[in-house]
Amino acid sequence: MIKTCQNFINGKWTPPSSGKYYEIRNPADKDEIIGQFPLSEIQDVDQAVLAASKAFLAWSKLLPMERAAYVEKFTTLLDEKTNYLGECLCREQGKPLVEAIGEPSRGVKECKYVIGEATRLQGLSLPSERQGVTNTVVREPVGVIAAITPWNFPMLTPLRKTIPALIAGCTVVLKPSYDTPWCSVLLLELFEKAGFPAGTVNLIMGRGSQIGDALSGNPLVRGITFTGSTIIGRQINKTAAANFAKVQLEMGGKNPAIVWDYANITGAAKSIAVAAFANAGQRCTAVSRVLVKRSQAEELEKALIAIIKEYKVGPGLEKENTIGPVVNKKAGDSIMEYIAKAREQGATIAIGGNQLKGGVYDKGYYIESTLVTNVTPDMAVAREEIFGPVLTVQKVDSFDEALEVANSSEYGLASCIFTDTQANIYRFMKESQSGMVHINHGSVSESFMPFGGIKMSGLGPFSIGATNKDFFMNTKVIYNQYI
Ligand code: NAD
């Protein structure tokens, strides 16, 4: 029997006012229906925001440690279910099981850090210019937060937004991606079980194009934390500006890895391949272009090809598979168009480049991990975010050229360098135009380190770790004259 999921509004599972639902299927097996999910309308959004706004009055007055107690209960439940949640995630989004279980597991780590933040919501105390006066700066919760999330990390991203918002004293309306709502339903079941007061966390599902503006433009929403494409981020930024709502925008990337005078080419290739092909390349921080010293290019390309040959592409639930399907046909077609364009523009497909067909492959959209060589910086494949298992290699003749090409992107999310030279490391740390710089390893983040980008990749305080407080809390200044 096919399950039908509902929105979660004011502590109750609530059908959409349209009475309409849509179907989600397993990207690894289009015959498997995951469930039916609400096609919400503007009035459902308004109802959820109103519930969050009413709940804010009491939730924001709790002591931070009292709020942390709810999150602790939630985290225990999450921790107990990581294997089950990972399996569901794999069925909904497609990534291999190990990576899928990694999401709730990483979520537990991030939750634990954020629970500790309840004791660190500190402000400032400054000396006054006057006798008998104390001057303090305190933090206060922003209010209702709209959390808008993409499909590529359907469990971690909602957690990364809702948990720090709740600890800070905000209430939340979560709108997950149209393509991966089930993971959010599963999280809301845990919030319900943990006993959060009605209205503190709400869930609205449906098409971003139908309900997104109503959510980010609702005047009761005081902050919008968004992860997704730059094009939608720009739209949200405009909508939020009309109400002077705060924004935390995490957007696209075209992340470079420079390889320059590095002895361990095999090691560099291993790190780059993980960073490029995990989650079938559908990561905002995926390394998607390598800029290599001409004299090291051949060795590096050979090493990358050898690694790619070992990949096993297939359904993520089967443990031997290391690369799953891409999320849907639309994404797959777009990736294949980029590969075709690279061919047309004169690049070489060194390995891969095909959609896999026949047998199990006909049940989903599977693309070979692809290495594109002889790339020049003007090619679409070298400039635009592909969001699939495609890595380009471009040869460069000087370190200055490598830096210039790395920085020539409109994006500025993550960047990597592999080099044994201290002077190059120093220059890269200083000159790389990105929010996150990785030296001698791939673009893999950690659970307490701030996460975000610059240029077209990010706006507002970084998420994860200590910087989240700057987004979810406002500043209040208090002058107190005692005598
Ligand atoms: P998307 O921008 O299409 O959708 C993201 C979310 O925005 C979805 O929930 C969608 O329904 C919603 N949305 C759509 N229109 C809206 C509107 N008008 N108003 C409000 N919300 C609206 O992105 P996607 O395809 O789900 O995800 C892939 C993109 O996300 C890639 O560009 C990737 O780089 C980016 N991403 C960035 C990060 C990061 O941390 N920087 C992390 C993961 C993914």
pLDDT digits (tens, 9 = 90+) for 161-198: 999 999 999 999 999 999 999 999 999 999 999 999 99
Confidence of residue 28 (pLDDT cuts 50, 70, 90): very high
Fold of the 255-446 domain: Aldehyde Dehydrogenase; Chain A, domain 2 (3.40.309)
**What value does the mean pLDDT take over residues 362-389?**
97
pLDDT at 1 over 90: no
Please give the Cα distance from 96 to 36 (Å, whole number).
Answer: 23
Fold of the 7-251+457-481 domain: Aldehyde Dehydrogenase; Chain A, domain 1 (3.40.605)
- State the distance from the centre of ligand 1 to the C-alpha of 476, rounded, in angstroms: 32
**What value does the mean pLDDT take over residues 23-32?**
96
Nearest CA to ligand 1 atom 8: 177
Nearest CA to ligand 1 atom 34: 252
Nearest CA to ligand 1 atom 26: 150
**What value does the mean pLDDT take over residues 456-465?**
97
Q: Which pLDDT value is given to residue 77?
A: 98
Work out the number of other CB atoms within 10 angstroms of the CB of residue 46. Answer: 15
Task: Give residue limits of the domains in the chain.
Answer: 7-251+457-481, 255-446
The catalytic site residues sit at: 250, 284
* Mean pLDDT of the chain, nearest integer: 97
pLDDT at 246 over 90: yes
- State the distance from the centre of ligand 1 to the C-alpha of 294, rounded, in angstroms: 36
**What value does the mean pLDDT take over residues 417-431?**
98
Q: Which pLDDT value is given to residue 220?
A: 98
pLDDT digits (tens, 9 = 90+) for 289-330: 999 999 999 999 999 999 999 999 999 999 999 999 999 999
pLDDT digits (tens, 9 = 90+) for 265-279: 999 999 999 999 999
> In terms of Cα–Cα distance, which of 154, 83, 84, 147 is closest to 327?
154
Out of 251, 288, 328, 434, mutate this one to test ligand 1's pocket (max ligand atoms within 8 Å of CB): namely: 251
Q: Which pLDDT value is given to residue 181?
A: 98
- State the distance from the centre of ligand 1 to the C-alpha of 147, rounded, in angstroms: 11
Could you identify the atom of ligand 1 that is nearest to the CA of residue 230? 32
Helix and strand numbers (H, E) in the chain are 15, 22
CA atoms within 13 A on the CB side of 10: 12
Confidence of residue 34 (pLDDT cuts 50, 70, 90): very high
Confidence of residue 2 (pLDDT cuts 50, 70, 90): confident
Q: Which residues are near ligand 1 (CB < 6 Å)?
A: 148-153, 175-178, 208-209, 212-213, 216, 227-229, 232, 235-236, 250-253, 284, 385, 387, 413, 453, 457
pLDDT at 107 over 80: yes
Work out the number of other CB atoms within 10 angstroms of the CB of residue 362. Answer: 11
Could you identify the atom of ligand 1 that is nearest to the CA of residue 331? 25
Out of 284, 334, 471, mutate this one to test ligand 1's pocket (max ligand atoms within 8 Å of CB): namely: 284
- State the distance from the centre of ligand 1 to the C-alpha of 465, rounded, in angstroms: 22
Q: Are strands 411-412 and 454-455 parallel, antiparallel or unpaired?
A: antiparallel
**What value does the mean pLDDT take over residues 127-154?**
97
Work out the percent of the chain whose per-residue pLDDT is above 70: 100
Six token digits for residue 483: 């005598």
pLDDT digits (tens, 9 = 90+) for 39-94: 999 999 999 999 999 999 999 999 999 999 999 999 999 999 999 999 999 999 99
Q: Which pLDDT value is given to residue 20?
A: 98
**What value does the mean pLDDT take over residues 436-452?**
96
Please give the Cα distance from 50 to 52 (Å, whole number).
Answer: 5
Judged on CB neighbours under 10 Å (0-12, 13-18, 19+), 154 is: buried
Confidence of residue 483 (pLDDT cuts 50, 70, 90): confident
pLDDT at 125 over 80: yes
Nearest CA to ligand 1 atom 21: 212
Q: Which pLDDT value is given to residue 192?
A: 98
**What value does the mean pLDDT take over residues 382-410?**
98
Six token digits for residue 126: 């400054």
- State the distance from the centre of ligand 1 to the C-alpha of 160, rounded, in angstroms: 15
Burial code of 320-358, b = ≥16 C-beta within 10 A, e = fewer?
ebbbbbbbbeebbeebbebbeebeeeebebbbbbeebee
Work out the number of other CB atoms within 10 angstroms of the CB of residue 197. Answer: 14
pLDDT at 102 over 80: yes
pLDDT at 373 over 80: yes
CA atoms within 13 A on the CB side of 355: 19
